[in-house]
Structure 1
């Protein structure tokens, strides 16, 4: 089977909704709510339609399509500038050191402080692959094609980029971190709070969350143990982010305690190594395996293929040329797999 990424459109609402129901909760960027998903797709449609190459508060949605059947089997999102419509909150883990001369004792306490340090960053998120397609490197295609999109539209993204990974969710769908921290103040379950955030935004956090630092030693063991830990299904995603140059600098999600990874946009490996060139041949036999992409904004497409670079020009294989609708003389962006 052949798969390609493309820009999402309002007609993709139902397949996105069906995938959203499979996430199992804690997936803020892909809520199982038709109205919210429709609003995301409408916002993405506006972003794809805007032609100015300037930074603005936008959201792009991409979908993974089976080119043979037309079925949508995965999705991912890019947010160009977070924290513009409402504050972008994180907890940051830091240490307070205090010393008593009388006792000749130094005490170090780990704290969680509510911050908006990452406001204005771009974000990659909302990545979900249908459970029946989790083979053949399609998750990698979804993840890294986003970086090619950024490289192709660099002026529309900030100089810092982040990725939030879902934290630990227990067997009943709850969050030990939420129960041990914010849940004590809000009187609502993690699932209710997460759903409310996905639909309405997190202004209620600003309204009700205590602004004083939380002493980690005062939390119960269940909450402490999951701070900065990704959900088991997100461990591979965390490794991929680290390979791209993202790092965990102590920021964690305010709902489930999952790690927030950050990087300088131009230092992300797939952005830094992205190559653009004119196609000299579209019948390559051999070469190196790569992710290939083309098209501006709403015409964006990406797939796996083969490439060979010679003095700036590029040769690609016939199959990927067909998937992307490319021929000799067209521009193709690529990054090695």
Structure 2
């Protein structure tokens, strides 16, 4: 049995290991000990806070996945609140201009990229990393959807709009076809340097150096155009899960690698909309379909994916499930049928 739980101080070495293995373009996991230590400390404070306001300072809920029997974590994920308030959150929005000339008998549309910060203050789900050798058997799905189970336990802690930035096309050598054409001429630096700066600085360099006018997509070479809104192959399963959860591509992309930003209202996510708060009762759930289960609290959050029998009045689970979720028999938990 696998369990997702809040990150602890003794997870730092594992957290650093994820950063080293995450690869180029994974902005939310920079290989920076001081920064990751600060994020871990901030997560501890965010989880233990009473009820942070969704329009207050930015917070982060950092989650780890491990065996219910203990051992070293092998993946992480996060929910960030109020993005863009501590550090500006910039994107390109794809806009369409209508072009027409009666004299030339021409009418057509042209796409362009304009820089925006439309999602300041929103909630972001991200930092999803799972060690390659542990992928499969529902581990990635549990880790991804656990973030929505956390939000469902206390929706008022989170902004009404949920977004997720997915890593765009970045080659094994660290080269981004979008960056080479759209980024490098303006910033005069390699992709890795810009990516690291965006993760470790206040992003003033973006304000200083970014293009001040719209960029016409038709002027870009095929390599850059083809990367607009595309997801890194490693992120394709995560994108499918997010889309099944209800998030949609809204024509907004990352300014560095061109990866897509998906968004929806928190009440429209399947987990927040469809999950139920019911008593969890110890019993025989052998042979039942697997379900997402959590102890339905923020501080001390626990989530797992196991067989469960869902009735109108209660959720029947094996006794060891209650132990893994740190719940008493008959205590209220949260359940979501697992159909993805």
Indicate the residue corresponding to 1:34 in structure 2. Answer: 33
Give the CA deviation at 1:139. 0.4
- The question of 1:10 aligning with 2:4 is answered no
Indicate the residue corresponding to 2:193 in structure 1. Answer: 192
Deviates more, 1:86-95 or 1:185-194: 86-95
Indicate the residue corresponding to 2:169 in structure 1. Answer: 168
Distance 1:35 1:147 in 2: 28
Alpha-carbon contact 1:4-1:301 (below 8 Å) kept: yes
Distance 2:166 2:226 in 1: 16
- The question of 1:115 aligning with 2:103 is answered no
Gapped regions of structure 2 (runs ≥ 5): none
Indicate the residue corresponding to 1:85 in structure 2. Answer: 86
Indicate the residue corresponding to 1:130 in structure 2. Answer: 131
Alpha-carbon contact 1:283-1:317 (below 8 Å) kept: yes
Indicate the residue corresponding to 1:269 in structure 2. Answer: 270
Indicate the residue corresponding to 2:293 in structure 1. Answer: 292
Measured against aligned partners, the alpha-carbon deviations of 1:100-144 in whole angstroms (never above 9, x if no partner) come to 121121232110010111112111000000111011110000001
Distance 2:173 2:24 in 1: 11
Distance 1:321 1:272 in 2: 24
Deviates more, 1:86-95 or 1:316-325: 316-325
Give the CA deviation at 1:93. 0.8
- CA RMSD after TM alignment: 1.4
User: Which secondary structure state, in structure 2, belongs to the residue aligned with residue 83 of structure 1?
Assistant: coil
Alpha-carbon contact 1:289-1:305 (below 8 Å) kept: yes
Distance 1:287 1:221 in 2: 50
Alpha-carbon contact 1:282-1:327 (below 8 Å) kept: no
Distance 1:285 1:103 in 2: 72
Distance 2:118 2:99 in 1: 25
Measured against aligned partners, the alpha-carbon deviations of 1:135-194 in whole angstroms (never above 9, x if no partner) come to 111000000111000000211111111011100012311111111112111111001110
- Give TM-score scaled by structure 1 length: 0.96
Give the CA deviation at 1:277. 1.0
Give the CA deviation at 1:54. 2.8
Distance 1:304 1:105 in 2: 57
Using a 3 Å threshold, how does the CA distance of structure 1 residues 269 and 224 change in structure 2: closer, same or farther?
Answer: same
Deviates more, 1:137-146 or 1:27-36: 27-36
Distance 1:294 1:41 in 2: 22
What is the count of residue pairs matched by the alignment?
336
Give the CA deviation at 1:283. 4.2
Deviates more, 1:24-33 or 1:70-79: 24-33
Indicate the residue corresponding to 2:46 in structure 1. Answer: 47
